[in-house]
Amino acid sequence: MESERNSPVTRWSCLAVPVMFMMGAGAAWATDPADVPVKTLGTVTVVGTRPTSLPTQIPTTIEGVTGAEVAERINASDSEDALKYFPSLLVRKRYIGDYDHAVLATRASGTNNSARSLVYADGILLSNLLGNGATFTPRWGMVTPEEIERVDVLYGPFSAAYSGNSVGAVVDYVTRMPSGFEAHARVSSFGEDFSVYGTNDSYGGWQASTSIGDRRGNWSWWLNYNRLDSDSHPIGFANRLISAGTPGSVGTPVTGAIAGRDPRNRDWLILGATNQIHTLQDHAKAKLAYDFSPTLRFSYTLGWWQNEAVRDSQSYLRDAGGTSIYDGNINVDGRSYALTATDFAPSRGELRHVMHGVSAKTNTQGAWDWEFAASLYDFDKDIGRAPIVAPFALGCGRAGCITDQHGTGWNAVALKGTWRPHGVGGEHLVDFGYQREGYRLRTRVANTNDWIDGVAGDRIAAFRGNTELQSLYAQDTWRFAQDWRTTLGIRFEDWQAFGGAIGNAAGTLPFAERTAQYFSPKAALAYQVAPLWTLKASVGRAVRTPTVAELYQGSIAAGAIVNNDPTLLPEKSWTGELSAERELTRGSLRATLFHEDTRDALYSQVNVAAGLTVTTIQNVDHIRTTGGELAYQLADAGLAGLDLSGSLTFAHSIIVANDNFPASVGKAQPRVPDWRANMLASYRWGDNWTTTLGARYSGKQYNQLDNSDPNGASYLGLSDFFVVDARVRYRHNAGWAEPSRPNNRMTPQITAALGIDNLNDAKYWAFHPYAQRTYTAEVGVDF
């Protein structure tokens, strides 16, 4: 992902460690990265750039990419696009600006397991751990591509500094903080040609961003504003199984229904396109830092994100007069079907989220260093409006319903320490700390007389609950011999769930409180076999506790809470990996074997053993995943200016035991494909032009636990895919960032880029359709 030449970061062993922390190269926060030398210490690469917050001293797999590389090589309209070519990662992004389903998948976790990964920006948690699933996506909108300094990914739960949600991966975004005055502006447009079922249309939008920052004395600051206006393709389709129709002449005869097969290969009819989304998003970010001394810095971050979403539908059905049909009884080829208002129901969303983060940290390079950090993510406004709710959920009046999540959010506090008993570069580096994370879910559903502009009336339903995780951890990185290094860690967690309740129009019923404690050991070992060869082994336990939404599920029937498991257990995983890394003249090659053994995995399923028919969150007894990964990166790969990177992953993920649903035993874990691969080739034509060609592949996967959905090329299915991306970028005045700046003035740099994602126009699905061929054009200016 990174190349040595023309890159602020050099990574030869997948471990990026700041110079100021590992080599004692001075403690000045204001040090210009260009003045910091790049050095190597054993199996750790030391780099001169703003550091990641990941624990890079641990000898395990970390991959990274810089913001400069993202801007040069990737068509990045959203911050999650920076992860597009990372080994074994996939973000289920359906369209540009996808804010509620863009879930991260990792080696042994699919896109329905959002709580099995962690995403941070400058130490602030962006992962939405209020629930686990497609609708609990990380808050990607709190970071824009233009402000990314670098992105790093830690694979697996091998650091004691992270909760069990790190079982898949930890993603760390480091955003820009200026060392002098700088200003940036960017505008882009995009368009997609989309053709699925009876929809054949073009969708597009535009994006504009501006940012400014400066450093004067001990103060530094950064301001960023971004607006996105995007029209998505339809992401849903109204349908009926042909077998569900009643033979006869009842209903209005209609044409336009499209015959096909559903994921289970049953004959069905597609009746129309739904959830065509127009989203208007605003993002603003303010960051402030003050250096009390060369070794003590205070930082504050304020993030603000607003979204207005309008979801519309289009019926394919026409009566004899050509009028579009949206409800009532219809007749298709001699079979009658009943349309409901929910088949084509529109909806609207109004969201305003606010994020705060403060930190104070020392960088003494002495025996001790400390850090205090606190953050808050608040659903200041989160309202959904619909003329009627989904058919299984509550049933409100004809005028409409309002769903309000005001008061929902999460907060975190951490106190971390580093102890170097033998000084910088000594045998031991000890990390320890205390962390507290709290999650608060508040949902109220009410009637309204006007679903578009009306106010909330009588309550229909309400859900609430809290979880809290307090943790203590310690880990020691010990260089016990010249070519050997190990990290041993332990994490203790105290988990609580409290304040849970579910309500309807008649009243509210509480859930019982729960508490539990867990220990999670970690270990890693690295051996420098030869100057260019390193072997690494890592193992770690992760306990992923149930989220608020998983715990406080269910409904009220006959005055009691039903369809809820009060003894829902946490997921408990043991994960291990073994890697061999080879430094090349201008790159690196890595081969990794990984294994994950998970007990009590949390999935939505029907408890067949108990004779139930309702789908609820339950524990799947045992899932086992074994696989391998190859990753490489080469700079000037046989030709000056040509950079290559790529990866290949195989995963065999099987459900070993599941007493509640025996038909799933021996079947593949949902949404974990057998093969994944990507490749990125970038060529620099002198100082001004760069062309890039990328490819991404994902193999066969299923959505159902019993793998009863073999037809992935369908709405509600999960398909394999192969897509190709292309980008051409031009820079005018490429030498603008050189030190020669008379009178502190900089010559502006102009950039322009054209890109195509899904160049081969593949039609592929992850329950919803992915974007088809999409064109992008952007122009930027930097001072």
pLDDT confidence of residue 640: 87
Give the separation between CA 728 and CA 689, rounded to whole angstroms: 7
| Domain residue extents for the chain | 16-782
- Residues 561-594: tens digit of each pLDDT: 998 898 999 999 999 999 999 999 889 999 999 9
Is the backbone of residue 21 left (phi > 0), alpha (psi -120 to 50) or beta? alpha
Across residues 221-244, what is the average pLDDT? 97
The β-bridge partners of 755 are 727, 776
- Three-state DSSP state, 298: strand
Distance in angstroms (rounded) separating the CA atoms of residues 643 and 477: 34
- The DSSP-derived string for 393-449 is S----SS-EEEE-TT-EEEEEEEEEEE-TT-TTSSEEEEEEEEEEEEEEEEEEEE-S
Asked if residue 29 has pLDDT above 50, the reply is no
Here the tokens at position 11 are: 């990574």
Q: Which of 17-26, 231-240, 272-281, 601-610 has the lowest mean pLDDT?
A: 17-26
pLDDT at 19 over 80: no
On whether the CB atoms of residues 463 and 552 are closer than 8 A, the answer is: yes
Beta partners for residue 353, in sequence order: 305
Return the number of other C-beta atoms located less than 10 Å from residue 680's C-beta.
24
User: Residue 279's pLDDT is what?
Assistant: 97
pLDDT over 60 at 27, yes or no = no
Q: What is the CATH number of domain 16-782?
A: 2.40.170.20
The distance between the two most distant Cα atoms of the chain, rounded to a whole number of Å, is: 87
Average pLDDT over residues 195-213: 96
How many percent of the chain have pLDDT more than 70?
Answer: 90
Alpha carbons 683 and 633: distance in angstroms, whole number: 14
17 pLDDT tier (thresholds 50, 70, 90): very low
Which residues have a Cβ under 8 Å from the Cβ of 650 and sit 6 or more positions away? 627, 628, 629, 674, 675
Positive or negative, the CA dihedral 127, 173, 729, 643 is negative
Separation between Cα atoms, residue 210 and residue 181, nearest integer Å: 14
Single-letter amino acid code for the residue at 661: F
Average pLDDT over residues 91-115: 95
Averaged confidence pLDDT in the chain: 90
Average pLDDT over residues 626-645: 92
- CA distances for 71 relative to 11, 146, 501, 755, 759, angstroms: 18, 8, 47, 12, 19
Q: Is the pLDDT of residue 652 over 80?
A: yes
pLDDT of residue 744: 45
Q: Which amino acid is at 612?
A: L
Q: How many CA atoms lie within 13 A of 202 on its CB side?
A: 6
Say what the alpha-carbon torsion angle 239, 243, 244, 250 is, to the nearest 10 degrees.
100
The stretch 420-439 carries a mean pLDDT of 93
Q: What pTM was computed for the model?
A: 0.91
User: Region 188-210: what's the mean pLDDT?
Assistant: 97
Which residue did the predictor score with more confidence, 19 or 492?
Answer: 492
- Range scoring the smallest mean pLDDT among 70-79, 147-156, 383-392, 752-761: 383-392
Provide the pLDDT for residue 613: 87
23 has pLDDT over 70: no
Neighbouring residues of 322: CB distance < 8 A, sequence distance ≥ 6:
none
In this predicted structure, what is the pLDDT of residue 748?
85
Per-residue confidence band for 327, with pLDDT thresholds at 50, 70 and 90: confident
